[in-house]
């Protein structure tokens, strides 16, 4: 491609020899002064990713890394390209480099059989045009733990024990896997993922904001089934009161949830518990006896997803109710998805077949992505003027079919 300053930019794969250049580009655009530990961590992620570069001569002017992972969707798990390190140097911005690199992303997904793509957006304005939508909001929850946590139910009485974080993949991992299907948007983890992304044992800085190393508490006696766990870090009192930072909390029911939050809120020399990336329907918000003690201090878009192969995505997920509708789907970035299709779906399966029949709904692929994991209601998008309903009740009927028990939420950030 030729940019408006008449330099020619080539879109091609970034070889391993250019990884240092890729890291430098990323730290430049994200304004990061990376430690050696952080650089090692990022290098590993780039090495494990498909790397697309926009080269101006032999210099990288832009890049996208696509990390392969598997994501939970209602009733299934699908291969997904998680985008990261998305960067275009300031001298080359707004000339279409990102757009050109996305064409390679879609090609790479097709080659790798990746049905979905996901990302964590630096700015919400960027990715809608490429067919991504926020799969659900995350909440920052703060507990005032200067007083005992008041809950409306009695906590589980099974013992709590601190374990060596290195043992967490073996002890907490199977529990996480077993509960993966409860929410769409969760990453299927192996031990390396736990160590690198959840426990930060393999090289990331472990002293941000003064918080100490990861701690892992497990509910249930040794040898008994795990009833839940929390991964957290603590900071003692100094210029500000001591605090607990919760990375993850999973439990097998309300009493176990109550036991784990009560434990975190009772740690001496701390006065606040922060859960920065909790699902919008976190049961703690209902369990609290005092919403002034457990507050949502921020809500923001969580994981963004894109249906790269709409047919594969729709026919893989489960459906809560029968539906039979014609959808007129728009997708300018991946035209193979676009057209009029009959969606016939229900608890026994689904099909997505081209049709000439009149459409019941007209929508863009980004609106379908918003509703696909069950977090957004199509009827609300009709109300907002983003989806056109030709047949009254069509959106409500598709909403009933797409419904899930829990809102989508990722455990990663």
Q: Which H, E and C letters describe 209-262, residue by residue?
A: HHCCCCEEEEECCCCCCCCEEEEEEEECCCCCCCEEEEEEEEECCHHHHHHHHH
| 258 vs 303, beta carbon nearer ligand ACO | 303
Q: Which helix (H) or strand (E) holds 329?
A: strand 323-330
Q: Considering the complex, what minimum distance in angstroms separates the CB of residue 54 from ligand ACO?
A: 8
Q: How far apart are CA 150 and CA 144, in angstroms?
A: 10
Closest by Cα among 251, 257, 193 to 227: 251
- Window contacting ligand ACO (CB under 6 A); options: 87-95, 177-185, 208-216, 393-401: 87-95
- Choosing from 4, 58, 111, 123, the residue that interacts with ligand ACO (CB under 6 A) is 123
| 57 vs 347, beta carbon nearer ligand ACO | 57
Q: How far apart are CA 13 and CA 110, in angstroms?
A: 16
Catalytic site includes residue 67? no
Ligand-binding annotation for 381, yes or no, is no
- Choosing from 52, 83, 218, 401, the residue that interacts with ligand ACO (CB under 6 A) is 83
Kindly state the tokens that stand for 298.
């921020």
- Choosing from 5, 10, 35, 122, the residue that interacts with ligand ACO (CB under 6 A) is 122
Q: Looking at 27, 263, 372, 413, which residue is catalytic?
A: 413
Tracing tokens 């998305």 back to the chain, one arrives at 86
Per CB under 6 A, 384 contacts ligand ACO: no
Per CB under 6 A, 71 contacts ligand ACO: no
Per CB under 6 A, 88 contacts ligand ACO: yes
Is-contact 262 160, C-beta < 8 A?
no
Kindly state the tokens that stand for 254.
């309300």
Tracing tokens 């607990």 back to the chain, one arrives at 244
Q: How far apart are CA 310 and CA 364, in angstroms?
A: 12
Q: How far apart are CA 339 and CA 214, in angstroms?
A: 49
Per CB under 6 A, 94 contacts ligand ACO: yes
Kindly state the tokens that stand for 304.
């963004």
Q: Considering the complex, what minimum distance in angstroms separates the CB of residue 81 from ligand ACO?
A: 11
Q: Considering the complex, what minimum distance in angstroms separates the CB of residue 211 from ligand ACO?
A: 24
- Choosing from 112, 126, 181, 312, the residue that interacts with ligand ACO (CB under 6 A) is 126
* Vertex 29: Cα angle to 24 and 33 (nearest 5): 60
| 88 vs 172, beta carbon nearer ligand ACO | 88
Q: Looking at 55, 67, 127, 263, which residue is catalytic?
A: 127
Q: Which helix (H) or strand (E) holds 168?
A: helix 168-171
Q: Considering the complex, what minimum distance in angstroms separates the CB of residue 367 from ligand ACO?
A: 18
Closest by Cα among 386, 382, 401, 372 to 185: 372
Per CB under 6 A, 86 contacts ligand ACO: yes
Residue 15: strand pairing partners? none
Q: How far apart are CA 241 and CA 388, in angstroms?
A: 52
Q: Considering the complex, what minimum distance in angstroms separates the CB of residue 170 from ligand ACO?
A: 31
Per CB under 6 A, 95 contacts ligand ACO: yes
Residue 84: strand pairing partners? 65
Q: Which H, E and C letters describe 356-390, residue by residue?
A: CCCCCEEEEHHHHHHHCCCCCCHHHHHHCCCCEEC
- Window contacting ligand ACO (CB under 6 A); options: 114-122, 183-191, 237-245, 393-401: 114-122
Per CB under 6 A, 287 contacts ligand ACO: no
| 98 vs 243, beta carbon nearer ligand ACO | 98
DSSP for residue 8: B
- Choosing from 9, 22, 29, 160, the residue that interacts with ligand ACO (CB under 6 A) is 29
Per CB under 6 A, 60 contacts ligand ACO: no
Q: Considering the complex, what minimum distance in angstroms separates the CB of residue 75 from ligand ACO?
A: 27
- Report the greatest alpha carbon distance in the chain: 70
Q: Considering the complex, what minimum distance in angstroms separates the CB of residue 293 from ligand ACO?
A: 35
Per CB under 6 A, 23 contacts ligand ACO: no
Catalytic site includes residue 383? no
Per CB under 6 A, 50 contacts ligand ACO: no
Q: How many CB atoms lie within 10 A of CB 349?
A: 10
- Binding residue positions for acetyl-CoA: 86-88, 94-99, 122-123
> Which residue ranges make up the site for ligand ACO (CB under 6 A)?
29-30, 62, 83-88, 93-99, 119-123, 125-126, 129
Residues with a catalytic annotation lie at: 127, 413
């Amino acid at each position: 491609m030729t940019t408006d300053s008449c330099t020619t930019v080539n879109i091609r794969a970034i070889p391993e020899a250019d990884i240092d250049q890729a890291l430098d580009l990323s730290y430049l655009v994200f304004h990061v002064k990376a430690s050696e530990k952080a650089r090692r961590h990022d290098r590993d992620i780039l090495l494990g990713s498909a790397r697309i570069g926009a080269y101006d001569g032999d210099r990288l002017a832009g890049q996208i890394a696509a990390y392969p992972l598997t994501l939970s969707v209602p009733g299934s798990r699908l291969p997904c390209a998680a985008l990261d390190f998305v960067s275009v140097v300031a001298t080359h911005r707004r000339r279409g480099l990102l757009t050109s690199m996305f064409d390679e992303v879609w090609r790479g997904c097709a080659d790798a059989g990746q049905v979905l793509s996901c990302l964590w957006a630096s700015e919400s304005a960027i990715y809608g045009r490429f067919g991504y939508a926020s799969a659900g909001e995350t909440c920052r929850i703060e507990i005032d733990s200067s007083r005992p946590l008041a809950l409306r139910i009695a906590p589980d009485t099974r013992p709590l024990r601190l374990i060596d974080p290195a043992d967490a993949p073996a002890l907490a991992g199977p529990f996480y896997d077993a509960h993966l299907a409860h929410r769409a948007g969760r990453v299927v983890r192996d031990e390396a993922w736990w160590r690198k992304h959840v426990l930060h044992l393999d090289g990331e800085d472990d002293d941000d904001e003064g918080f100490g190393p990861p701690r892992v508490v497990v509910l249930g006696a040794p040898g008994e089934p795990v009833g839940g766990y929390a991964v957290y870090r603590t900071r003692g009192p100094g210029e500000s009161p001591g605090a607990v930072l919760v990375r993850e909390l999973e439990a097998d029911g309300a009493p176990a949830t109550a036991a784990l939050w009560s434990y975190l809120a009772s740690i001496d020399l701390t006065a606040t518990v922060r859960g920065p990336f909790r699902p919008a329907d976190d049961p703690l918000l209902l369990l609290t006896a005092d919403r002034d003690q457990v507050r949502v201090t921020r809500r923001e878009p969580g994981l963004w997803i894109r249906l790269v192969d709409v047919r594969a995505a729709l026919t893989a997920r489960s459906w809560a109710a029968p539906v039979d509708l014609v959808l007129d789907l728009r997708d300018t970035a991946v035209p193979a998805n676009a057209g009029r299709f009959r969606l016939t779906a229900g608890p026994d399966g689904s099909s997505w077949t081209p049709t000439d029949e009149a459409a019941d709904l007209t929508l863009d692929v980004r609106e379908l992505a918003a509703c696909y994991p069950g977090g957004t209601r199509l009827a609300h998008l009709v109300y907002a003027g983003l989806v056109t309903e030709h047949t009254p009740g069509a959106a409500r009927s598709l909403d009933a079919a797409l419904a899930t028990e829990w809102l989508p939420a990722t455990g990663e950030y």
